[in-house]
Amino acid sequence: MLGTGILKGMVETAKNFAGSYHDPERLTTVEYPEQRIASKENARQFPFLVHDTEDPMKGLRCVACQICEKECPPQCIYIVKSKDKRADYKGQMQFYPATFDIDLSVCMSCQICVEVCPFESIKMDTEFELSNTDRFGGLLVNKHQLAKSNEHYRKIHPTEAAASDAALAVEVAKAQAKAKADVEAKAKAAAEAKTKAEAAAAAGPVGAPASAPAPKPSSPAAAPAA
Amino acid sequence: MTLPFAIIAGLTVGSAVAAMSLRNMVHCALSLVLTFAGLAGLYLQLNAEFVGLTQILVYVGAVSILIVFAILLTRSTEPKDEPSTVTPWVGISVAVGAFLTMALAVLASPVGKRIAAPAPEVSVKTLGQKLMTDYVLPLEVMALLLTAAMLGAVIIAMREKEGK
Amino acid sequence: MAELFAKLDALPVTLKHLLLGLLPGATPEWLVAVVSAVLSITPILAVFPLMFALTTVIERKGLGRIQNRIGPNRVGIPLTDIRLFGFGQFIADGIKSLIKEDVVPRAADKVVHFLAPIALLIPVLLTYSVLPFGKNMVPLDLPQTGLLFFFAVGASTELSVFMAGWSSRNKYSLLGAMRAIAQMVSYEIPLILSALTVVMIAGTLSLPGIVESQTELKFGFLYTWHLFTPWGLVGFFLFLTAAAAEANRTPFDLPEAESEIIAGYFTEYSGFKFAIFFLAEYLGLFAMCGLGITLFLGGWLPPVKLAPFTWVPSWCWFLGKLSALIVLFIWLRGTLPRLRTDQLMGFAWKFLLPMTLINLVVAALWHLSANSIPLVARWPLCFAMLAIPYWLLGRGFEAKFTKREYRFAN
C-alpha cells in the first residue's frame, strides 16, 4: 500500500537516531582532533624518501634516476642530479639528488612514483595532517622534509616494508657475491698468471685459457640491508 | 480623505502609472501586482474584508503569476532601446475623454447622494447565504464550470501518462 | 491551585495589559493602538525567529544522528571550553551571515533583487498575525476572514520567489523559481481544499472560532479535535503533505535541489539576504504547522480535559504541538529522498486533489449523518469511504513507480 515504504523508512531512521546514543554500530563517527582511529596499513597520502643511515642526507636510497619525475602524472616532482657520486647501500658509486622537491598541492597520491622506482627509495606515507600556513613555499616539500627512516617505513607499512627489505637484501647479497667472485676471480687470475708465468718459465710457452666461472650467489638472506 | 487612504490611493495610482510607462515588461507586471494589492487595500479600508482578501488571493497570488508566466513564455523581457514611435497625445486625450464622461455620469447619478446612509455590514455568512439562495443558479453554473475544468486537467494529465 | 494555572495561562495577556496601563493617561487613541500592536508583534518577532535558530541546530543534530554521525556539537561560549552541546552554533551562523559580503551579480536587476527577500519575509510574518497562539492570544482577530487572510497573504510569497529567481539573471535561479511557482500553485489547491473541510464543519473562517469548535467534550473528557474524525485524520495528513510542498520541505524541496540547480531561486543571494530567505522558509513552515495545529489538532487545547493536562498553559500546548510537528518534518527530511518533477506534479494532481475532494464529500456526509447514524457505525463507514479510494489511488501509483526501467543501462 502507498505509504508503507515511507513508514518503514521512518522506522529505520528512528532506529538510527535512538541507536546513535547507545549502539556504537549506529554511530561510526569519531570526534577527530581528540579521538583518532589507528591508520590503516594500506593507507597512503604523500610520498617520502627512505634513508638507511643516521644522517638522512647521506643515507638516501634515491639515486636521482628521475624515473619518478618522468612518470608522475601531475608532474609534481622536481629533481636535480648531483655533480659527484657517492657509495650507495651496496657500496656502488651512484648519483644522489641535489634537489628533490614535491609540490604538495599538485600531488594526487596516486603512488605511481612508488611503483616505478627501481631502488625502493620512494614510498607512501600515512601522515595526513599536511596543511600549511604558507601556501606557496610551505607546500613545496624539499628533500630534508621528505627524508624519513626505514624504521618509519617498517612501522607504517610492515608487510610492504618486509618485502622491500627482502628485495634489497637480495640485491646486497648479489652485489656482495659478485664482489666476492670478482675478488676470487682476480685472485685466481693472478694465481693462474703466476703459475702460467712459472710454467712458462719452467716449460716453455704452453698457454691454457683460464676462465673463472662466477660462483652462484648464496641463498637470499633475510637479513635487512645495512 | 484620511492619511491611510491617501497613501494607498497614491500607491495604487503611482504603480498603475508605472505599469503603463516602464519599459521592462516584468517590471510592468510587478507594478501591476502592486496596483492589485493597492486595490485590495482600498477594499479593506471600506470594511469589505472578504472582497479585499479574495482580491489578494486571486490577483496577487494567481493572476500575477499567470501574467509573469505569459510574459516569460512569449517574449523577451529585455527592454528595447528604440524610442516609442507613436505619439502619446492621441491616447492621452482619449483616456481623459473617457474618464471625464464616466466621472460626469457618476457625479450625475444618484449614487453619490447616498453617502450619508450607513453602509450595511456584510458578513461572509450573509454573502454565503445570498450565494446559496438568491444567486444559486449562477453559483452552480460557475461551480460546474470550474469543477469540469479541474477534472479535465486531471484527466488530461492521466491520459498523457498512459499514452506513453 | 487551578487559579494559579489559569493566571499562568493568561500571563502574556495580563502582561500586555499591564504594559499598556503604564502609558500616561493623556496618550492619544492612535498611539495606544500602535503600542498595543507593537506589544503583540514583539513576542512573535522574538519567539519564532528564536525557534528558527534553535531548529537549525536541532535539525542538523537530528539529521546527523539519523545518518549515524554526531552533528554539530562544538560551538559554545567563545574563549571557554563550555560547548553547550553545540547550541551556540546558530549565533555563530547569524554573525557570519551578518558580516558576510553581499554579492549582487552585475547583470542582476538591482531593485527587484533587493526587494525580493523583503517581499518574501513580510507576507510570511503577516501570516502569524491571525494564528491563535493561546486562549485569547490572537494578534489580529478577523472573525470574518481569518483563514482567508492566511491563505491570501501566503499566496503572495509566490511572486517574491519569482522576483528573486528572475532578477538574479541566472539560469539556475530562474529554473528554481519556475519549479517553486509550479509547485506552490499546484499544491495550494489541495492545501486550501483540505483546510476547507474544517471551515465547512466549523462554519467559520475565524481561526479562534475554529479552535472553539473543537472544545466540545466527547465521553466527558476527550476534546473533539478534528483529528479524531475520519475526515480530519485524513485531512490532516493531506494538509501536512501539501504544507510540506508549500514550504519547500523535503521530499518536495525541488526548487532548491542542491544536486540539480545549486540553491534554486536564491542561488545568487549571499550574506544577510540569504539568511532572510532561509528564515522566511522556516517561518513559512512554522506558520503552516501552526495553521495545521489550529485546524486539526485543537489549536491551544489539550487533548483531554483531565487535571495534569489542563494545568499546562494554552500557549505551551500550542508551542509543544508546533515543536512536535517540526520534529516530524525533520524526521521526514532525514528519511525521504527528493521527488522528480513529474512525480511531484503527478502526486499533486492525481493523488492529493482527488483525495481532498473525496475528503470534502465525506466530511459533508459525516456532518449530515450526525443525528441519523450512531458514532460506532459512522466512524468506520466514513473511514472506509476514505480508505478505499486511498488504496485504489495508491495502487495506481505503486504500479507506476515501483519498477523503473532504464533504456540504455540494461
Instruction: Map out the domains of chain C as residue ranges.
Output: 32-98, 100-338
Q: What is the pLDDT of residue C323?
A: 93
pLDDT band, very low/low/confident/very high, at C401 (cuts 50, 70, 90)? low
Mean pLDDT for the stretch of residues C207-232? 86
Q: Å from B156 to nearest chain C CA?
A: 10
Q: What is the pLDDT of residue A224?
A: 47
Q: Which of A208-212, C192-196, C269-273 has the lowest mean pLDDT?
A: A208-212
Chain C interface, Cβ < 8 Å to A = 62, 65-70, 73, 331-332, 334-336, 351, 390-391, 393-395, 397-398
pLDDT band, very low/low/confident/very high, at B144 (cuts 50, 70, 90)? very high
Chain A interface test: which of C58, C63, C69 (most A C-beta within 10 Å): C69
- Per domain, the residue ranges of chain B are 1-78, 122-164
A216 pLDDT more than 60: no
Q: Count interface pairs B-C at CB distance under 8 A.
A: 74
Q: What is the pLDDT of residue B61?
A: 84
Of all residues in chain B, the percent with pLDDT exceeding 70 is 80
Mean pLDDT for the stretch of residues A30-38? 85
Q: DSSP characters for A23-47?
A: -GGG-----TTT--PPPPTT---EE
Of B27, B64, B150, the CB nearest to C159: B64
How distant is the alpha carbon of residue B83 from its chain centre? Answer: 30
* Cis, peptide link before residue C303, omega less than 30° from 0: no
Q: What is the pLDDT of residue C322?
A: 93
Of B50, B62, B72, the CB nearest to C148: B50
**Cβ within 8 Å, pair C398-A28:** no
Q: What is the pLDDT of residue C399?
A: 65
**Cβ within 8 Å, pair A2-C390:** yes
Residue C257 is placed in which grid cell? 535541489
Mean pLDDT for the stretch of residues C315-323? 91
Q: What is the pLDDT of residue B158?
A: 66
**Distances C238 to A65, C216, C307 between C-alpha atoms, Å:** 73, 24, 33
Going by C-beta distance under 8 Å and a sequence separation of 6 or more, which residues neighbour residue B90? Answer: none
Rg of chain B, C-alpha, whole Å: 21
ipTM above 0.85, yes or no: no
SS3 assignment, position B125: helix
Q: Which of residues 7-26 of C touch B (CB under 8 A)?
A: none
- B157 interfaces chain C, CB cutoff of 8 Å: yes
Going by C-beta distance under 8 Å and a sequence separation of 6 or more, which residues neighbour residue C315? Answer: C9, C12, C133, C134, C137, C300
Mean of the per-residue pLDDT values of chain A: 82
User: Counting every residue, how long is chain B?
Assistant: 164
Of C155, C189, C205, the CB nearest to B57: C155
**Cβ within 8 Å, pair C69-A2:** no
**Tens digits of residue pLDDT in B27-56:** 888 899 999 999 999 988 887 888 888 888
Q: Which of B155-164, C197-206, C255-264, C392-401 has the lowest mean pLDDT?
A: B155-164
Residue C94 is placed in which grid cell? 547569524
- Per domain, the residue ranges of chain A are 47-171
Q: Which CATH fold topology does A47-171 show?
A: Alpha-Beta Plaits (3.30.70)
* Residue B48 and residue C145 in contact, taking contact as beta carbons nearer than 8 Å: no
Q: What is the pLDDT of residue A212?
A: 47
**Cβ within 8 Å, pair B64-C354:** no
**Are 3 or more Cβ–Cβ pairs between A and B shorter than 8 Å?**
no
Residue B68 is placed in which grid cell? 509573469
Which position has the grid cell 554521525?
C69
Which of C92, C94, C116 has its CA nearest to residue C104?
C116
Q: What is the pLDDT of residue C32?
A: 82
Mean of the per-residue pLDDT values of chain C: 86
B78 pLDDT more than 70: no
Q: What is the pLDDT of residue A204?
A: 58
Residue C266 is placed in which grid cell? 536564491
**Cβ within 8 Å, pair C350-B158:** yes
Residue C402 is placed in which grid cell? 515501483
**Cβ within 8 Å, pair B123-C144:** yes
Chain C residues touching residue A26 (CB < 8 angstroms):
68
Q: What is the pLDDT of residue B164?
A: 47
pLDDT band, very low/low/confident/very high, at C293 (cuts 50, 70, 90)? very high
Chain C interface test: which of B53, B155, B164 (most C C-beta within 10 Å): B53
- The CA distance from C168 to B36, in Å, is 25
Q: Which of A91-100, B14-23, C96-105, C324-333 has the highest mean pLDDT?
A: C324-333
Q: What is the pLDDT of residue B82?
A: 59
SS3 assignment, position A3: coil
**Cβ within 8 Å, pair B157-C350:** yes
Q: Å from B7 to nearest chain C CA?
A: 17
Of all residues in chain C, the percent with pLDDT exceeding 90 is 23
Q: What is the pLDDT of residue C329?
A: 93
**Cβ within 8 Å, pair C332-A10:** yes
Q: Which CATH fold topology does B1-78 show?
A: Four Helix Bundle (Hemerythrin (Met), subunit A) (1.20.120)
pLDDT band, very low/low/confident/very high, at A221 (cuts 50, 70, 90)? very low
Mean pLDDT for the stretch of residues A42-57? 86
Of C112, C151, C353, the CB nearest to B30: C112
**Tens digits of residue pLDDT in C239-284:** 999 999 988 888 888 888 888 888 888 888 888 899 999 899 999 9
3-state secondary structure chain C: CHHHHHHHHCHHHHHHHHHHHCCCCCCCHHHHHHHHHHHHHHHHHHHHHHHHHHHHHHHHHHHHHHCCCCCCCCCCCCCCCCCHHHCCHHHHHHHHHHHCCCCCCCCCCHHHHHHHHHHHHHHHHHHHHHCCCECCECCCCCCCCHHHHHHHHHHCHHHHHHHHHHHCCCHHHHHHHHHHHHHHHHHHHHHHHHHHHHHHHHCCCCHHHHHHCCCCEECCCEECCHHHCHHHHHHHHHHHHHHHHHCCCCCCCHHHCHHHHCCHHHCCCCHHHHHHHHHHHHHHHHHHHHHHHHHHCCCCCCCECCHHHHHCCHHHHHHHHHHHHHHHHHHHHHHCCCCCHHHHHHHHHHHHHHHHHHHHHHHHHHHHCCCCCCHHHHHHHHHHHHHHHHHHHHHHHHHHHCCCCCCCCC
B91 pLDDT more than 70: yes
Q: What is the pLDDT of residue B117?
A: 54
Half-sphere CA count of B94, side-chain side, radius 13 A: 5
B75 pLDDT more than 70: no
Chain B interface test: which of C29, C110, C111, C148 (most B C-beta within 10 Å): C148
pLDDT band, very low/low/confident/very high, at B24 (cuts 50, 70, 90)? confident
**Tens digits of residue pLDDT in C107-159:** 888 888 999 999 999 999 999 999 998 888 888 888 888 898 999 988 888 88
Q: Å from C94 to nearest chain A CA?
A: 25
Nearest CA in chain B to C111: B27
Which of A225, A226, A92 has its CA nearest to residue A169?
A225
Q: What is the pLDDT of residue A226?
A: 41
Chain C residues touching residue A1 (CB < 8 angstroms):
391, 394-395, 398
- The CA distance from A181 to A185, in Å, is 6
**Cβ within 8 Å, pair C398-A2:** yes
* Residue C295 and residue C198 in contact, taking contact as beta carbons nearer than 8 Å: yes
**Cβ within 8 Å, pair A13-C66:** yes
Chain C interface test: which of A2, A11, A26 (most C C-beta within 10 Å): A2
- The CA distance from C382 to B64, in Å, is 39
**Tens digits of residue pLDDT in C33-83:** 888 888 888 888 999 999 999 999 999 999 999 998 888 888 878 777 778
